[in-house]
Amino acid sequence: MQDKSFVPFTEEMKKDYTILVPNMLPMHFKLMLRIFETYGYHMELLQSSGHDIVETGLKYTHNDTCYPAILVVGQMMDALLSGKYDPHKTALIMFQTGGGCRASNYISLIRKALVKAGMEYVPVISFSLAGIEKHPGFRVTVGKLHRLLYAVLYGDLLMDLVDQTRPYELEPGRAERTAEAWTRRLGDELGTSRRINYNRVKENYRAIVRSFADIPADRSRKKPRVGIVGEIFVKYSPLGNNDLERFLIREGAETVVPGFLDFCLFCVYNGIMDHKLYHQGRAGYLAEKAVFRLLCRKRSEMNEALTAGGLFVGVTPFEEVVAMAGEVISRAVKMGEGWLLTAEMVELSRSGCKNIVCTQPFGCLPNHICGKGMMVPVKKLCPGSNIVAIDYDAGASRVNQENRLKLMLANAG
């Protein structure tokens, strides 16, 4: 039920308010923010980090909430209290799936933090495809979703190419600079184009892959590949996982991170499963099947561009990932990252990435069950898998986390 007491984001606010966005996927979110600028919004991606963010989060929410929520609340409140923004001309935004995860309570937790700080007048926008709340000045339209889809596809491609290039580059930082340049160029293109030309998108795919293939690199000695799975925030966010990817690279590994589109496909597939399990409306079922097929095809065509030159490793078709989940866990398990988390571990192991880090935030029960709880079945199904679960919470020792990672890498094949 919609909270009648919340402060809505109005059309008038759209003119001169700054909307602060928590940082989960830097490249993806930069592309998305450029798209929203096209529609008249002024949005800023929060990139603050450090233990002060954790302390601020603990100050404004209780320490029994999940770790990603503590970080998001901390990052937002730190920004509002910094003096950089006028709280009377600032709004906050948070994505909500509307599922059974604690993440569906983020909006309430942020509003409680604002009340505690005496800033209850700051609007908190719920970005939800389920229409959980209505904000007159912020509407999710088909046109916006169409552009955001390509931001996700481009972001996944860039993330994959950086992961496969960075450990071998001869000029440190070249892969990240290339990705940053493409992020600016693609953001401008997505933001200013009157319509999306899909032939142009596929040309961009090929040009992006060529630009990474041209980066001087020494791949004569392959480094151990380490997959990263887990709760969506700590899996992707450097703030949430203590810059896990950079640590693994410094230790001589190549990181493999499943794309964000896979999580989107997981959400759509869950709607298909709901119809099969609970016999929900046929019209919604047919629409979700059509969306699922469309997204799978888009993902496949991006993958064709990635692998065309034979230099880069592609991704497993998502339909096969779904089938892998069925070998070890019910696809009715959908809280948090649900069956997708287990399926990603199986897919990584079968594709040759036997070393896997399962990022587990405090307070995320679904991920402890579908991640850490499924490690033994996954190891039985995929002999030779080298999986370690790393806990992330406000009181966790970074040294202990890194020591456990080093132990995993010592056994890496």
Do residues 325 and 339 touch, judged by C-beta distance below 8 A? yes
- Do 391 and 360 form a contact (C-beta atoms < 8 A)? yes
- How far is 236 from 25, CA to CA, in rounded Å? 6
Q: Read off the tokens for 116.
A: 């505690």
Two tokens, residue 277: 């399990």
Nearest to 396 by CA among 54, 16, 32, 166: 54
What pLDDT score was predicted for residue 65? 86
Which residue ranges in the chain fall short of pLDDT 70? Answer: 1-4, 97-103, 130-131, 193, 413
Give me the pLDDT at residue 66, please: 87
Q: Which helix (H) or strand (E) holds 178?
A: helix 174-192
User: Is the domain defined by 11-139 classed in CATH 3.40.50?
Assistant: yes
If we measure between CA atoms, which residue out of 41, 36, 68 comes closest to residue 53? 68
Rounded to an integer, what distance in angstroms lies between the CA atom of residue 64 and that of residue 66? 7
Q: What is residue 99's predicted lDDT score, i.e. its pLDDT? A: 66
Which helix (H) or strand (E) element contains residue 358?
strand 355-361
pLDDT at position 327 is 95
Contact by Cβ (8 Å): 411, 386 = yes
Question: Where in 176-260 does DSSP place strands (E)?
Answer: 225-230, 254-256
Which pLDDT does position 140 carry in this prediction? Answer: 84
pLDDT of residue 163: 97
Q: Quick one: pLDDT at residue 103?
A: 62
CA–CA gap between residue 26 and residue 257 (Å, rounded)? 14
Per-residue pLDDT of 84-115, as tens digits, reads: 999 999 999 998 766 666 667 888 899 999 99
Cα–Cα distance, 222 to 71 (Å, whole number):
35
pLDDT at residue 281, rounded to an integer: 78
Reference 16, options 86, 110, 119; nearest CA is: 86
Domain boundaries, the chain: 11-139
Residue with tokens 């604002």: 114
Radius of gyration of the chain (CA): 21
